[in-house]
Structure 1
Amino acid sequence: MRLTTKGRYAVTAMLDLVIHSDSGPISLADISKRQEISLSYLEQLFSKLRKQGLVRSVRGPGGGYNLSREPDTIFIAEIVDAVNESIDATNCGGAGNCHAGEVCLTHHLWTDLSAQIHTFLSNISLQSLVDRRKADEEPEQEQILEMLG
């Protein structure tokens, strides 16, 4: 599967937005610093995310970006699709010209895999990833409290 940095960074930036959303709009400069993603690259990604209605911009002092919907209604496949990232496990980009201009023997296998991956990502919300992250952190917090207590 080819999921380039464009899709990975878009998902990472959206997760950062969710995690820090309690303090109001989030600037791309803040996301850039926390996630070590180029600010100009984030600007390009967020332009696409905004056009697809996944985020909204807030102008002025204290401005930045917010999610346009609740995080449990935004799915990873939507984010990947919004930044024009294709999920494609074929070697031909889905064109079917993989073997000297013809469909290779395994073309349909890789096409089906790509569809399965897209379906998988369509069922994972931003909120579910945040919840999973919190669940992973809770045992550590409990252990620290036990040691202190």
Structure 2
Amino acid sequence: MKISTKGRYGLTIMIELAKNNGNGPMSLKTIAKENDLSEHYLEQLVAPLRNASLVKSIRGAYGGYVLAKEPHEITAGDIIRILEGPITPVEGIEDEEPAKQELWIRIRDAVKDVLDTTTLEDLSTYGEKGTQDPYMFYI
């Protein structure tokens, strides 16, 4: 399974909002500048996240975006599914022989497990004193 820039940059938006959680709205311009990304592209990515009720937009001079839920309530899997679609390593596994079907299912389940047990809180605090898990990003 290959995660495109949609998924990667969507995670970036959400991690930045999680780091800023409780400090008011954060603009996409700020996120884009801090991460050397296109603000226009981030605008396209935040719409489905807003439609899925993961973020809220705040209008006004000091507006921007905030998380719609607490960081521990949103998983990487939630974000990836919204931006990338279903998590599947290969299409059409029902046409494969049983041994290959089992392999693809096990790979899918392992990836889903990692994504669904990794929260924005985990990602936003990674690397802070006392939170670094050296095995967190290895499969």
TM-score class, shorter-chain normalisation, is 0.7 to 0.9
Aligned to 1:109: 103
- What is the match of residue 117 of structure 2? 123
Q: Which has the larger radius of gyration?
A: 1
Taking structure 2 as the reference length, the TM-score comes to 0.82
Distance 1:13 1:69 in 2: 14
What is the CA distance between 1:34 and its match in structure 2?
0.8
Matched, 1:19 2:13: no
Instruction: State the identity as a percent.
Output: 32
What is the aligned-residue RMSD (CA, Å)? 2.2
Which of structure 1's runs of 4+ aligned residues deviate more than 6 A?
A: none
**Number of matched pairs:** 131
Measured against aligned partners, the alpha-carbon deviations of 1:3-49 in whole angstroms (never above 9, x if no partner) come to 11111111111101111334310011111111122112111111000
1:73-120 superposed Cα distances (whole Å, 9 cap, x missing partner): 111100111113443322xxx2238xxxx4266243123311221122
Which residue does 1:4 correspond to in 2?
A: 4
Equivalent residue, structure 1, for 2:74: 74
Q: When the two structures are superposed, what TM-score results if normalisation uses the length of structure 1? A: 0.77
Pairs within 5 Å for 1:38-57: 38-57=38-57
CA pair 137-112 structure 1, distance change in 2 beyond 3 A: closer
Change (3 A) 1:72 1:137: closer
Q: Which runs of 5+ in 1 are unaligned?
A: 139-149
C-alpha contact (below 8 Å) 1:77/1:121 kept by paired residues: yes
Task: Name stretches of at least 5 consecutive residues in structure 2 with no aligned partner.
Answer: 133-139
